[in-house]
Amino acid sequence: MHQYSQQEAAQPREESNVDLLTAATPSFSLIVWNDEVNTFEWVIETLIEICGHQQEQAEQCAMLIHSRGKYAVKNGDYETLKPMCDAITDRGIGATIEVFV
């Protein structure tokens, strides 16, 4: 067993600082919902233009949205995801923001 010196014990561990920061800062997911109205092409185009996805990534997300009913297409802070969510819904595609756990 490692014995900590007084100096080691007084200094915070870097890992615990990261853990505390992560615990205090919630992360969010931008969820896109499947529907029977929008085409794959429209969803793919939207993910490329609004979320900055590459073609292949957007295609994979569209398939997952279709097969699972919904899919988290992007993670991040609320302030970044909110305008994207609004732009997606403005295009007639269902989207929400949820807390990522």
The pLDDT value recorded for residue 75 is: 95
Say what the pLDDT of residue 70 is: 98
Q: Is residue 53 part of a domain?
A: yes
Domain total of the chain:
1
Sheet holding 95-100, edge to edge: 70-76, 27-33, 95-100
Structural domain contains residue 2: no
* Continuous segment of H or E residues that includes residue 67: helix 55-68
Which CATH number goes with the domain that contains 62? 3.30.1390.10
From first to last of its 101 residues, what are the pLDDT tens digits of the chain?
A: 444 445 544 554 455 555 555 555 679 999 999 999 999 999 999 999 999 999 999 999 999 999 999 999 999 999 999 999 999 999 999 999 999 87
| 14, part of any domain | no
In a domain, 15, yes or no: no
Instruction: For residue 62, give its domain range.
Output: 26-100
> Does any domain span residue 90?
yes
8 A C-beta contact, residue 33 and residue 91: no
Residue 22 main-chain phi, psi, to 5 deg: -65, -40
Query: The whole model's pTM is what?
Result: 0.75
Is the residue at 19 inside a domain? no
- Please check whether residue 7 lies inside any domain of the structure: no
